[in-house]
Amino acid sequence: MFTRTRRLRGSKVLREMVKNVTINLNELVYPIFIEEGENIKEEIKSMPGQYRYSLDRLYDELKELKELGIKSLLIFGIPKKKDEKGSQAYYDKGIVQEGVRLIKKNFPEFLVITDVCMCEYTSHGHCGILCGNDVENDKTLEYIAKIALSHVKAGADIVAPSDMMDGRVLAIRKRLDENGFVNIPIMAYSVKYASSFYGPFRDAADSAPSFGDRKTYQMDFRNSKDFYREVEADIEEGADFIMVKPALAYLDIVKSISEIKLPIVAYNVSAEYSMVKAAAMNGWINEQGIVMETMYAMKRAGVDIIITYHAKDIATWLKNKEISL
């Protein structure tokens, strides 16, 4: 006698009945790039279907996203001016701060998450304040906390520090609490690897370092243990979400932390998106099938929330009844 596992796959209705992994739009976060200037809607060459928007062109995109049922946004800003201290990152009228105000004024129903880092704003492209050719961890914490506070004052619902400085979650939590923002959650980029999967993003955000790399602060993917310390530290410091970035090459990490009591976020990053788009444009793959398979893979591994550039496509397929979740 052998086991007939196929019995539970005999029809679509039966497969729908017994499935135990689900996805809905509430769990997807759509990243948006905004930049200073006017009348800008510029496609990012290495990320087909993704654009950089000036604030005057952002309204139409937000209206479309609302109509599609997307509820959560992750905002990245590209300033006109950069300096060694990334001063536009915490400027009250900086591009992210003004973008958050625009969204909250016109589309208050969106949940707005802001990326808190310095790489888009520094003249050298690194994620903090330099001491020689190295990023000075403790000095950078002061600036990261200042950036987070400026975003929250502008109306951000969640701040997401991506700099990978030790102690950043504690520094942000302390600064927010001191200013009365005790209920603003922190979505920590807790497990962020020094990865080649970020290439297209650096084109999108003009954030490539002008020298060296980020391997002294972003994690080494050859180490299979240090992510535990990163997660434990961020939880102890007051993080409300734990993020793993990139997503697909690190689902083993997601699985390893899947039992923690905080929501787990996976960032389905730029190259993961662009590789699918490039293959689909060449007719090599079924784009919709590949995208949905990867979404379910992340959920199956233990992800609660997915940040993905595919969110708009998924919402469009749902609206057109091309897929069902």
Does residue 45 carry a catalytic annotation? no
Report yes or no on 131 lying in a domain. Answer: yes
User: Is 7 within the bounds of a domain?
Assistant: no
| Residue 33 covered by a domain | yes
Q: Given this model, what pLDDT does residue 16 score?
A: 93
Decide if 312 is inside a domain: yes
In a domain, 278, yes or no: yes
Average pLDDT for the chain: 95
pLDDT of residue 213: 84
Whole-angstrom Cα distance, residue 311 to residue 65?
10
Amino acid letter for position 307: I
CATH number for the domain including 262?
3.20.20.70
Beta carbons of 243 and 191 less than 8 angstroms apart: yes
Domain count of the chain?
A: 1
Q: Does residue 84 form part of some domain?
A: yes
User: Of 19, 71, 174, 192, which one is the catalytic site residue?
Assistant: 192
Helix H or strand E segment including 118: none
Structural domain containing residue 286: 22-319
Q: Token digits for 296? A: 């379910």
Q: What residues form DSSP beta bridges with 158? A: 113
The whole-number pLDDT of residue 210 equals 81
Residue 184 CA to residue 158 CA, distance in Å, equals: 6
Half-sphere exposure of 288 (CA within 13 A, CB side): 12
Q: State residue 206's pLDDT score.
A: 76
**pLDDT in the model for residue 108:** 97
Whether 85 is catalytic is: no
Q: Minimal CA–CA distance to 278: which of 268, 290, 266?
A: 290
Angle at 70 between CA 68 and CA 75, to 5 degrees: 130
Phi, psi of 189 (to 5 degrees): -75, 75
pLDDT at 324: 79
Which tokens belong to 207? 């954030």
pTM: 0.95
Give me the pLDDT at residue 4, please.
93
Low-confidence ranges of the chain (pLDDT < 50): none
* Within a domain: 2: no
Q: How many CB atoms lie within 10 A of CB 2?
A: 4
Residue 8 belongs to a domain: no
Question: How high is the pLDDT of residue 196?
Answer: 94
User: Out of 245, 277, 299, 312, which one is annotated catalytic?
Assistant: 245
* Distance (Å, whole) CA 182 – CA 253: 30
Q: pLDDT value at position 271? A: 96
